[in-house]
């Protein structure tokens, strides 16, 4: 099995071209990473039938490597350089720090507009707000639906801020992608393989949340479902997992997932301390912990009147608290070498 072709330091452009041609002749796509030292060429596709020998004999080839991980395209072994996602100039990935903030649910235009204006003013780069809500009880507020999507579009255009909103089903992908800059797949849908395949076929970035009971290898395999379909703009989000202890917190924020994922994959890793803890008073300390652990950004719930929120008011920051959060995390993110 041949997955990665490591070229010799002195390999010529012509030799690199010959390797790429061979890959394409076999019906695969080539991914070229040009490092300072040498060029590495990845083979995209199911390479189980290809022997190392096919490439080892070509001039300029130093080594042929097989990747044994199931999540090949997602793995850093296959794609050593960090993926940086660019949304109209806002960069997401290693070396950058992005704050996505807004209400859990879009409730009306005033609420979204007021929140968006505030968070943008304080340095958040992306507005969050769901219109299709997956709730534990079917009697809870399930979101404004298409009407809410119109509000998201209006606020995005009026304030010129990119937005992220959730998709629940494959049928929603098209209408949501028309408005939203990033599509969110929530914790409950991480294992929804049809939905993963569907968002894999679009160009827009996807924020994939870890299922609250998923192992990290399962999380990475679900990202692979998206990448395999051609969409490599995937952002991973740790949002807390279920453990034996839910006495003081809604979930247990798995901070160790951050450095593990950053090692294992080239994709950006962000943290949602709002769902991760379920308590507004824990959001600022856990945001700081996430930055210290190497996160590339945060997803934060904010509401102008959390006590009146239709969902997740208990964990939503007030506007005042959001201002404090931003003031306290900006120097920390800079200390970690991030541009914010
Ligand atoms: C949300 O972001 O509002 C949400 C529903 O998140 P999760 O899927 O992580 O519960
Ligand atoms: Mn929420």
DSSP codes joined into one string, 234-297: EEEEE--B--S--SS-SSB--TTHHHHHHHHBSS-EEE-HHHHHS-HHHHHHHHHHHHHTT-SE
- pLDDT tens, 258-282? 999 999 999 999 999 999 999 999 9
Q: Whose CA is nearest to atom 4 of ligand 1?
A: 186
Atom of ligand 1 nearest to the CA of 188: 8
What pLDDT is stored for residue 45 in this prediction? 86
Q: Which two tokens stand for residue 23?
A: 């890959």
d(CA 49, ligand 2 centre) in Å: 45
State the fold for domain 85-335: TIM Barrel (3.20.20)
State the fold for domain 4-65: Alpha-Beta Plaits (3.30.70)
Q: Whose CA is nearest to atom 9 of ligand 1?
A: 187
Testing ligand 1's pocket by substitution, the residue of 112, 130, 306 carrying the most ligand atoms inside 8 A of its CB is 130
Atom of ligand 1 nearest to the CA of 104: 3
Domain boundaries for CATH 3.20.20.70 within the chain: 85-335
- pLDDT tens, 134-162? 999 999 999 999 999 999 999 999 999 99
d(CA 196, ligand 2 centre) in Å: 21
Instruction: Give the number of residues written for the chain.
Output: 340
User: Would you say the CB of residue 187 lies under 6 angstroms from ligand 1?
Assistant: yes
- pLDDT tens, 79-95? 989 999 999 999 999 99
| Residues of the chain falling short of pLDDT 70 | none
Atom of ligand 1 nearest to the CA of 105: 3
Question: Relative to the alpha carbon of 208, which ligand is closest?
Answer: 1
Calculate the average pLDDT of the chain.
Answer: 97
What pLDDT is stored for residue 40 in this prediction? 94
**Exposed, middle or buried by CB within 10 Å (0-12, 13-18, 19+), for 276?**
buried
d(CA 103, ligand 2 centre) in Å: 8
């Amino acid at each position: 099995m041949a997955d990665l072709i490591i070229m010799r330091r002195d390999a010529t452009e012509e030799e690199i071209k010959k390797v790429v041609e061979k890959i394409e002749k076999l019906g695969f796509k080539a991914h070229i990473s040009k490092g300072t030292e040498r060029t590495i060429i990845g083979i995209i596709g199911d390479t189980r039938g290809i022997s190392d020998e096919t490439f080892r004999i070509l001039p300029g080839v130093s080594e042929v490597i097989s990747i044994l991980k199931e999540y090949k395209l997602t793995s850093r072994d296959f794609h050593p350089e960090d993926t940086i996602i660019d949304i109209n100039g806002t960069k997401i990935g290693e070396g950058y720090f992005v704050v996505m903030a807004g209400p859990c649910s879009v409730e009306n235009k005033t609420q979204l507009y007021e929140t968006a204006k505030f968070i943008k003013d304080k340095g958040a780069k992306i507005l969050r707000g769901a219109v299709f809500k997956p709730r534990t009880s079917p009697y809870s507020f399930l979101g404004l639906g298409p009407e809410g999507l119109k509000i998201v579009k209006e606020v995005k255009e009026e304030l010129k801020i990119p937005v992220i909103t959730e998709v629940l089903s494959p049928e929603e992908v098209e209408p949501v992608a028309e408005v939203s800059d990033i599509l969110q797949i929530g914790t409950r849908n991480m294992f929804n393989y049809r939905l993963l395949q569907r968002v894999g076929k679009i160009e827009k970035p996807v924020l994939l949340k870890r299922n609250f009971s998923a192992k990290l290898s399962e999380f990475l395999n679900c990202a692979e479902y998206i990448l395999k379909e051609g969409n490599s703009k995937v952002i991973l989000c740790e949002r807390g997992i279920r453990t034996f202890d839910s006495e003081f917190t809604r979930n247990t924020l798995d901070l160790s997932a951050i450095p593990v994922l950053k090692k294992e994959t080239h994709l950006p890793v962000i943290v949602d301390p709002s769902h991760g803890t379920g308590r507004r008073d824990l959001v600022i300390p856990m945001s700081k912990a996430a930055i210290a652990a190497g996160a590339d950004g945060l997803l934060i719930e904010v509401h102008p009147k959390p006590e009146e929120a239709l969902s997740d008011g208990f964990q939503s920051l007030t506007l005042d608290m959001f201002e404090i959060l931003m003031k306290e995390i900006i120097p920390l993110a800079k200390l970690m070498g991030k541009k914010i």
